[in-house]
């Protein structure tokens, strides 16, 4: 029987799934496995299923949307593994992008607009950060697909084989590290890069700091109340 998930612990499952996705994608790329493309798609699908399982299951409309998108992506993955068709690959990428966007919305809705800040919501804030990085990674892939040569320092391959490179570039841009081994070369790619850097700085300095501040304040209020009662 699957463990029961509540809004007190649902983001822990999502965070584990996201971290395992990043790790597995890196391992598959590192080992250059023969069926690496399929394995990357499978790891993405597993993350989607966990997202469906853990996020806002009380809202049947969103739940049906998530299940429907996941089934469509599954069909595209199966079709893409049989037929080497660029339209199927594009459809699969769009499906992942749309699903990650929906997941980001649902996580932000629970983290930012409901109840007091607790440990689960701080974990949810980390999930938002990783989801932002993944969304921009797919946006960079779209840019490279539509405007070849948008980035320097990339090895040209299928989108599954190059996903690790785009995730890496997206994460170092989101954190404003910028190692410089991969660089945007065209206007759209540069726009995406600096917008992600701005988002990363805004998120870490304002949103996360606010969440932690509210969390600390909620802990100090009961302590003050206890002291007043003792006096």
Question: Whole domain around residue 178: which residue ranges?
Answer: 10-219
Identify whether 47 is part of a domain.
yes
Identify whether 32 is part of a domain.
yes
Cα 95 from chain centre: 13
Q: Could you give the percent of the chain with pLDDT greater than 70?
A: 79
- 46-50, 57-61, 105-109: lowest mean pLDDT where? 57-61
97 within 8 A of 140, measured Cβ to Cβ: no
Strand partners, 184: 151
**pLDDT on residue 170:** 96
188 or 99, higher pLDDT: 188
Identify whether 173 is part of a domain.
yes
- Between vectors from CA 169 to CA 205 and to CA 182, what angle results, nearest 5°? 125
Question: What does the block give as tokens for 3?
Answer: 């463990």
Identify whether 44 is part of a domain.
yes
Q: Percent helix, strand and coil across the chain, each rounded to 5? A: 80, 0, 20
pLDDT in tens, 2-12: 455 555 677 88
Identify whether 230 is part of a domain.
no
Identify whether 4 is part of a domain.
no
Q: Could you give the percent of the chain with pLDDT greater than 90?
A: 23
At 44 the three-state DSSP class reads helix
**pLDDT on residue 1:** 44
Identify whether 29 is part of a domain.
yes
The count of structural domains within the chain is 1
CA distances for 164 relative to 21, 140, 155, 161, 173, angstroms: 10, 12, 11, 7, 14
Identify whether 201 is part of a domain.
yes
What are the residue ranges of helices labelled H in 36-85? 36-54, 60-82
pTM: 0.81
Q: What's the CATH number where 171 sits?
A: 1.10.287.70
- Between vectors from CA 11 to CA 1 and to CA 219, what angle results, nearest 5°? 120
Question: How many beta carbons lie within 10 A of that of residue 56, not counting itself?
Answer: 21
């Amino acid at each position: 029987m699957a463990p029961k998930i509540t809004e007190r612990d649902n983001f822990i499952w999502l965070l584990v799934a996201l971290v395992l996705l990043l790790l597995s994608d890196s391992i598959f790329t590192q080992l250059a496995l023969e069926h690496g493309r399929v394995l990357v798609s499978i790891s993405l699908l597993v993350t989607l299923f966990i997202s469906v399982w853990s996020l806002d299951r009380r809202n049947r409309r969103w739940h049906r949307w998530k299940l429907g998108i996941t089934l469509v992506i599954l069909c595209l993955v199966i079709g893409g593994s049989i037929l080497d068709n660029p339209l199927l690959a594009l459809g699969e990428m769009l499906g992942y992008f749309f699903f990650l966007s929906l997941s980001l919305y649902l996580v932000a809705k629970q983290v930012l607009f409901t109840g007091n800040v607790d440990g689960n919501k701080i974990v949810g804030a980390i999930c938002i950060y990783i989801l932002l990085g993944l969304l921009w990674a797919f946006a960079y892939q779209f840019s490279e697909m539509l405007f070849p040569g948008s980035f320097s320092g990339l090895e040209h391959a299928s989108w599954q084989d190059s996903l690790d490179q785009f995730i890496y570039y997206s994460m170092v841009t989101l954190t404003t590290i910028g190692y410089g081994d991969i660089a945007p070369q065209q206007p759209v790619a540069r726009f995406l890069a600096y917008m992600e850097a701005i988002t990363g700085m805004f998120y870490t300095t304002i949103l996360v700091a606010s969440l932690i501040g509210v969390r600390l304040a909620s802990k100090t209020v009961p302590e003050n109340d206890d002291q007043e009662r003792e006096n």
